[in-house]
Amino acid sequence: MRLIVKYETKLLNYLIENLDMPKKRIKQYLKNGSIYINNTKITKYDYKIFPNMSIIIDTENKNSTFPFEIIFEDNYLIAVNKPSGLLTISTPKEKEKTLYHLVRDYLHKKNKHAKLFVIHRLDKDTSGIVLFAKDEKTKNKLQENWNALTTREYVGIIHGTLSKKEAKIIQYLKETTTNLVYVAKNKEGKEAITNYHVIKESPNFSLIKINIETGRKNQIRVAFASLNHPLVGDKKYGFSKDKAPRLYLHATKLKFYHPYLKKEILLETITPNEFKKIMK
């Protein structure tokens, strides 16, 4: 995992402010010698860092723990808090540096015969909860009625303020040959249902809670771009000159029915610190 330093501070403070993982785990990474600054191993909490320095967390270090927060794990499932900028699964251009490979490697260290199956995914630039299955039967059971039996909630920050503070957006989406998703006319394409509620506003931005009833590619990003209030940091559907360090969209809540425990499981993560900073 790699970070580029944005401001001058001390190393531990920066990692706490910019990583969605417990402070205890970050300290363990430092203690184990798994953190490098400009290719130099650093273990001091108070090491001073400056803008444009490169921070690398070595996820292959056998002494290190999993690099991100593990939200839930049992014999059938594992859910982790994916950072922005990391693919969930491989693409023709990127085969190895994915969340799937990191989770699979983590499981292999405990059991060399462990397997991993994708249940759903997040966009590369979206952070938050991703759930995987440890066997194909569990994957199939969860995917059977995924849209109907899950609650998927996000927080996002958009440019500007919305006239309607709460609404349901129903659109029909299609995709171009260049992988750009757009709103189709005359109900062509796949139906996408996005609900939102404004939590907080500032002169330039709005913090919103989002709940999706369908899971279409780039659904949330396209929905708000179509309202002329794109997500902050969305250079694909929003402003190409947006200077935000990341896409401000985070999957904060996932509720699903566990097929073996026979009960609903609610997974939650905290809103990333950078979301709070931009809304001050």
Model confidence at 42, pLDDT cuts 50, 70, 90, reads confident
For residue 106, is it within any domain?
Answer: no
Closest CA to 226 of 128, 166, 158: 158
For helices 23-31 and 11-18, what crossing angle results, to 10°? 140
Helix or strand run (H / E) with residue 159: strand 151-159
- Contacts by 200-204 with C-beta closer than 8 Å and gap 24+? 200/279, 201/161, 202/279, 202/280, 204/159, 204/160
Report pLDDT for 127.
93
Burial letters for 179-196: b for 16+ Cβ neighbours within 10 Å, e otherwise? eebbbeeeeebeebbbbb
For residue 268, is it within any domain?
Answer: no
Closest CA to 215 of 153, 276, 280: 153
Tally of domains within the chain: 2
Residue 8 DSSP class: -
On average, the pLDDT of the chain sits at 89
pLDDT per position as a tens digit, 206-255: 999 999 999 999 999 999 999 999 999 999 999 888 888 899 999 999 99
Closest CA to 247 of 267, 224, 268, 227: 224
DSSP 153-194: EEEEEEES--SSSEEEEEEEEEE-TTS-EEEPSTT-SEEEEE
Determine the average pLDDT of the residues in 151-163: 97
For residue 204, is it within any domain?
Answer: yes
Determine the average pLDDT of the residues in 174-182: 93
Structure tokens at 130: 């991703």
Closest CA to 221 of 166, 178, 180: 180
Q: How far apart are CA 34 and CA 127, in angstroms?
A: 22
Give the domain range for residue 190: 149-251
Q: Specify the CATH number for the domain of residue 26.
A: 3.10.290.10
Model confidence at 205, pLDDT cuts 50, 70, 90, reads very high
For residue 133, is it within any domain?
Answer: no
Question: DSSP 3-state assignment of 223?
Answer: helix
Cβ neighbours for 10, distance < 8 A, ≥ 6 positions apart = 45, 46, 47, 48, 49
Q: Is the pLDDT of residue 63 over 80?
A: no
For residue 160, is it within any domain?
Answer: yes
Q: Specify the CATH number for the domain of residue 203.
A: 3.30.2350.10
pLDDT per position as a tens digit, 5-25: 899 999 999 999 888 778 888
Report pLDDT for 206.
97
Residue 48 vs residue 58, higher pLDDT? 48
Model confidence at 147, pLDDT cuts 50, 70, 90, reads confident
Share of the chain above pLDDT 90, in %: 61
For residue 66, is it within any domain?
Answer: no
For residue 143, is it within any domain?
Answer: no
Q: Is the pLDDT of residue 151 over 90?
A: yes
Q: How far apart are CA 125 and CA 228, in angstroms?
A: 20
Q: Is the pLDDT of residue 66 over 80?
A: no
Q: Is the pLDDT of residue 59 over 60?
A: no
Model confidence at 131, pLDDT cuts 50, 70, 90, reads very high
Closest CA to 30 of 17, 12, 50: 12
Question: DSSP 3-state assignment of 253?
Answer: strand
Structure tokens at 219: 């659904």
For residue 7, is it within any domain?
Answer: yes
Model confidence at 3, pLDDT cuts 50, 70, 90, reads confident
Q: Among residues 25, 43, 59, which one ends one of the domains?
A: 59
pLDDT per position as a tens digit, 231-241: 999 999 998 88
Q: How far apart are CA 118 and CA 131, in angstroms?
A: 8
